[in-house]
A and B are shown apart, each in its own frame.
Chain A
Amino acid sequence: MFGSAELSALHAIVGADGVLCGASVERAYDCDAYTVDRSKPTAVALPKTTGEVARLVRWCNEVEMPFTARGAGTGLSGGAMPALGGLIISTKRLNRILQCDIPNRKLLAQAGVVNSHVSKVVADAGLHFAPDPSSQTVSTIGGNIAENSGGPHTLKYGVTSPHVLGLTLVCPDGEILTLNRREQTPDLVSLIVGAEGLLGIVTEAWLKLTPLPERTETALIAFSTVRAATQVVSAIIREGIVPAALELMDRRILEAVRMAFGLEFHPDTEAMLLVECDGAPASCRAEIERVGELSSGALDFRLAKNEDERSRFWLARKKGIGAMGRLAPTIVTHDGVIPPSRLPEMLEFVYAIADEHQVGVANIFHAGDGNLHPCFYFDDRIPGTVERVVAAGEAIMRRCVELGGSLTGEHGIGIEKIDMMPLMFTEADLIMQSWVRRAFSPGNLCNPCKVIPNQKGCIEHRRRWRGAAT
Chain B
Amino acid sequence: METDNLSDLTAACIRCGFCLEACPTFQITGEETESPRGRIYLIRSAETNKLGWAEIAPHVDRCLGCRACETACPSGVHYGQIFELAKAKMPSKRWRSSLLRQLTDVKRARRQFQLAALLPGRKLPSFISRLLTKQPTSTRIPRPQELRNYPPLEGLPPIKGQVALLRGCVMDALFPNVHEATIRLLRRLGFEVIEIRNQCCGALHAHSGDLQEARTKFNQLVTSLPRDIVLLTNSAGCGSHLKEYGATAQDVSEFLYENGLVDALKMSDGLACRVGYHDACHLAHGQGVRRQPRELIRSVPGTELVEIPDSDRCCGSAGIYNVQQPILAKHLLDQKWGSIEFAKPDIVVSGNPGCHAWIEQARAERSSSIQVLHTMEFLEASFSGLFD
Contact = CB atoms under 8 A, between A and B. Distances in A.
B159 interface: no
Contact of B17 (A23, A74, A259): A74
Given A27-B41, A28-B38, A114-B21, A46 B30 contact: yes
Interface in B266-309: none
A216 interface: no
Nearest to A88: B32
Given A326-B75, A326-B76, A28 B18 contact: no
Binding site of B, secondary structure by majority: helix, strand, loop or mixed? loop
B50 interface: yes
A135 interface: yes
Interface in A287-324: 319, 321-324
B32 A29 contact: yes
Contact of A330 (B8, B14, B38, B48): B14
A249 to B, nearest CB: 14
Contacts of A35: 15
A24 B42 contact: yes
B56 interface: yes
Interface string A110-138: 00101000000000000000000001011
Contact of A23 (B16, B38, B55, B77): B55
B45 interface: yes
A387 B112 CA distance: 60
Interface in B57-82: 58-59, 73-77
A322 B41 contact: no
A99 interface: no
Given A27-B51, A322-B73, A135 B30 contact: no
Given A20-B33, A24-B55, A470-B48, A325 B17 contact: no
A260 B55 contact: no
Contacts of B16: 33, 74, 135, 321-322, 325
A33 B30 contact: no
A348 interface: no
B14 A24 contact: no
A20 B34 CA distance: 12
A235 interface: no
A456 B59 CA distance: 37
A331 B14 contact: yes
B119 interface: no
B12 interface: yes
Contacts of A259: 76
B7 interface: yes
Nearest to B14: A325
B30 A90 contact: yes
A95 B30 contact: yes
B20 interface: yes
A329 B14 contact: yes
B11 interface: yes
A270 to B, nearest CB: 22
B109 interface: no
A438 to B, nearest CB: 31
Contacts of B18: 135, 137-138, 319, 322
A423 interface: no
Contacts, number: 103
A72 B36 CA distance: 13
Contacts of A137: 18, 21
Q: Which of B11, B15, B73 has the most CB of A within 10 A?
A: B15
Contact of A329 (B11, B30, B74): B11
Nearest to B17: A74
Contacts of B20: 72, 138
A25 interface: yes
B169 interface: no
B31 interface: yes
A93 interface: yes
B204 interface: no
Interface string B331-370: 0000000000000000000000000000000000000000
Contacts of B58: 24
Nearest to A319: B74
A325 B10 CA distance: 11
B311 to A, nearest CB: 16
Given A259-B76, A325-B74, A325-B77, A25 B17 contact: no
A412 interface: no
B45 A27 contact: yes
Contact of B75 (A24, A29, A138, A260): A260
B31 A322 contact: no
Given A112-B30, A379-B11, A24 B76 contact: no
B31 A138 contact: no
Contacts of B17: 33, 72-74, 135, 138-139
A194 B91 CA distance: 46
A44 B32 CA distance: 10
Contact of A325 (B12, B42, B48): B12
A330 to B, nearest CB: 6
Given A319-B18, A321-B16, A325-B13, A92 B31 contact: yes
A381 interface: yes
A321 B18 CA distance: 11
A71 B343 CA distance: 32
A17 B74 CA distance: 32
A365 to B, nearest CB: 17
Contacts of B15: 31-33, 35
A195 B144 CA distance: 60
Contact of A322 (B45, B51, B75): B75
Interface of A: 20, 22-25, 27-29, 31-33, 35, 44, 46, 72-74, 90, 92-93, 95, 112, 114, 135, 137-139, 259-261, 319, 321-326, 329-331, 379, 381, 470
10 contacts: A27-B41, A31-B15, A73-B32, A92-B30, A137-B21, A138-B20, A138-B21, A325-B12, A326-B12, A326-B76
